[in-house]
Structure formats: structure tokens, C-alpha cells
Amino acid sequence: MLGLVAESLNQLREQTPTTVKLFDWIKRQITLATTSSAYGPSNPYKNRTVEVAFWTFKSGMSNLIMGLNSTRTASKAIHAMDIDHHIPLNDIARSEFANGVALLSNTVPNTFWMLYYLYSDPKVLAECRKEVSDVVMVVDNQGEPTRTLDMSKVKTSCPVLLSTYKEVLRFYSTAVSARLVMEDHMLDNRYLLKQGSTVMMPTPVQHHNSTIWGPDNATFDHLRFARSEKRPNQAGFRAFGGGATLCPGRHFATTEILAFTAVIIMQFDIEPKSHRWVQPSRNKVEFWEATPSPDEDFEVEIRSIESEEQGGRWAFILSDSDKPIELSAEDLSS
């Protein structure tokens, strides 16, 4: 996966300057890199029609989940699922769509918000560029430098970058965990949970609790997870769920997002065509999504940074995969 990210961004350098819609461009880059790492050379998402159909179907999932699968309420999603071949329902259930949801549905918007916050704040961007620059290894390859980024060092030696990422997860997560009550239980000597009932736990309630995060819980603070003193209780950070349903792909997604972000900020400047970064609204989030996408996309210009420190090709290595990033309370005990 890391090699595919590097290959994609090495090619982008040759295409700049270029104007793109930021979210759509990130969606395209992450989709191809992620699915190619999962499916290999026969990746079906290389077919633009398949890629577009996936995202169209995803946008109508809420109606389908609730059983509103009539042609009136979910026509686009059904058409994207059923192009030409009229796939039987049983075969649809066995299809690969669920893998696409797991691989892409939250990775793409999290990458968008990460880049949005870095580029909209020059000070934070400069801090993260300095951190990444300090862990890049440069090797001359027949006159062309190859810049190798060890993702293990990024995870341990780039505290501002990592804290910004975790704050994106805290600030934007809309996930809802659900648990079935197996037997009557008195919670905290105050709440009787009856056997057979369902407990819903919205992540935003936990992630914006002033008892856990302080009075500034509604403010985006990129250093919230980097401070040595008064660090928040990790048990209150539930962007990836927890317990038996803890997201098994959290480290895969995190490595991809950090790798993509690191190379982007080291190679490119990004500026809105309007010359002003405006916080996009996120009111159209689907109820099943863990991270909202921006309601409206916007155009940006991507320009290569022309300097000796950014030139050449980029590559990734992972020297130590045994030490996980602390993305959940469970990671602390692993």
C-alpha cells in the first residue's frame, strides 16, 4: 500500500501545477492506492465506471439500510448496484461492496480533514513539515535523490503530525457504537439496563465531553494529544470503537493517511482558487458513517515545491511494525 501511495504522488509531481476539486481528488487517490493494495493487479476499481458506481451506491446506503429501496428513494444507488447485469439479491449480499466500505468510507474523509487543517493553518503546516523533514532519509540514486520516509519513525518522532491526526478523529467522528444488554445491569448505581435492550453510544457525546476534554472540547486543538501534561484519558477516545468491535483496520488506515499526508505536505503547496480557506459544512453525513464528508467540494491549485529538499522520488519503509500507535485504550495494553 505504501509503495502505491508513493508511486501515485511521484506521478502527481509531473502533472503540477494543476487545479482539482480537493475532496474528489483525494477520493480518487486514496481509492486507487487502497484498493490496489487489497486486490493487486486485477483491481476492479481501476475501471473508472466501477469506482464511480461504488461512490454513487455508498451515497444511497442510508435509504437501503432502512429498507427504503424503492426506485423513488434510492434510484441512483440501485442503478449503480444493478448496471446491465441485474444481479440477484443473494449475489449482491456476497459481493465485494462491504470491503470497499471498510477500506474507503472513512479513510477518504479523514484524509480530507487532515489536509484541510494543515494547509489552512500555515503555522501547523510548518511544524509538521519540520517534523517529517527530520526523519526523511536521502539516498542518491544515479544522480536522482530518493527520499525514503520510515513510517515507524513518523509514528514515534512526529508528535505534532500525529496529534493533529488524532484531533481530526476526535473532532469529526460521528460513529455510533451499539451493544445488546445480555442481562439486567445497574450502571453506575443509577441506570437500569434491561436484558434484551440496546445501548447506543454516540461518539460525539464522548468526544465533546468537557469532563474528559476540558472546557475547550468544542475547539479544534492540534496539540491536544501532544502535550505531556494533562493528556486526555485515552478511554474517552473512541474514534475506532472498542471492545469486541474495535476496528481491526485502524492501523492500516492510520498508516495510509499519515503516509499520504506526509508526502503531500513535503512536495506540494495547496491553495484554494478563492485564495481563502473556508470551513466546509458537514450536515449531510449519513447516519452509518463514522466520519462526515464535506457537504460541498471546492477547487484548489496544487503546485510542486521547487527546492532541492523536495525533489526526486519518494519511497516508504516500515522498519518496526511491532509498536502500535495509541489509537484506543486497547492499544495501551497490547
Task: Give the mean model confidence (pLDDT) for residues 128-137.
Answer: 94
Asked, for residue 77, whether it belongs to a domain, the answer is no
- Edge-to-edge strands, sheet with 313-317: 136-141, 144-150, 313-317
Q: What's the mean per-residue pLDDT of the chain?
A: 84
Asked, for residue 76, whether it belongs to a domain, the answer is no
Q: What is the pLDDT of residues 208-218, one digit of tens each?
A: 999 999 999 99
When comparing pLDDT for 187 and 99, which is higher? 187
Strand partners, 140: 145
- For residue 81, pLDDT over 70 is answered with no
Of 68-72, 118-122, 175-179, 243-247, the least confident:
68-72
Residues 6+ apart with CB under 8 A from 200: 176, 177, 178
> Of all residues in the chain, what percent carry a pLDDT higher than 90?
43
Structural domain total, the chain: 1
- For residue 92, pLDDT over 70 is answered with no
Q: How confident is the model at residue 329 (pLDDT cuts 50, 70, 90)?
A: confident
Q: Residue 95: give the domain boundaries.
A: 1-65+87-331
- pLDDT for 194: 96
Most confident of 46-60, 98-112, 153-167: 153-167
Of 64-78, 88-102, 153-167, 273-287, the least confident:
64-78
- pLDDT for 107: 94
Cα 12 to Cα 268: distance, rounded to the nearest angstrom: 10
Output the domain CATH number for residue 250: 1.10.630.10
Task: Give the mean model confidence (pLDDT) for residues 292-313.
Answer: 84
Q: How confident is the model at residue 6 (pLDDT cuts 50, 70, 90)?
A: confident
Residue 2, number of CB atoms within 10 A of its CB: 19
Cα 64 to Cα 247: distance, rounded to the nearest angstrom: 23
Binding site listing: 247
Q: What is the pLDDT of residues 23-41, one digit of tens each?
A: 999 999 999 888 888 888 8
Binding site listing for heme: 247
Strand partners, 201: 177
Asked, for residue 72, whether it belongs to a domain, the answer is no
Q: What is the pLDDT of residues 248-276, one digit of tens each?
A: 889 889 999 999 999 899 989 999 999 99
When comparing pLDDT for 163 and 75, which is higher? 163
- pLDDT for 93: 46
Strand partners, 179: 199
Residue 118, number of CB atoms within 10 A of its CB: 25
Task: Give the mean model confidence (pLDDT) for residues 282-301.
Answer: 88
When comparing pLDDT for 120 and 1, which is higher? 120
Asked, for residue 21, whether it belongs to a domain, the answer is yes
Q: How confident is the model at residue 120 (pLDDT cuts 50, 70, 90)?
A: very high
Q: How far, in Å, are 85, 124, 273 from residue 118 at the CA level?
A: 44, 6, 17
- pLDDT for 62: 59
Q: Where are the beta strands (DSSP E) in 219-330?
A: 268-272, 299-304, 313-317
When comparing pLDDT for 44 and 332, which is higher? 44
Phi, psi torsion values for 110, nearest 5 degrees? -65, -40
- For residue 234, pLDDT over 60 is answered with yes
Asked, for residue 70, whether it belongs to a domain, the answer is no
The grid coordinates of residue 24 equal: 474528489
Helix (H) or strand (E) segment spanning residue 162: helix 159-172
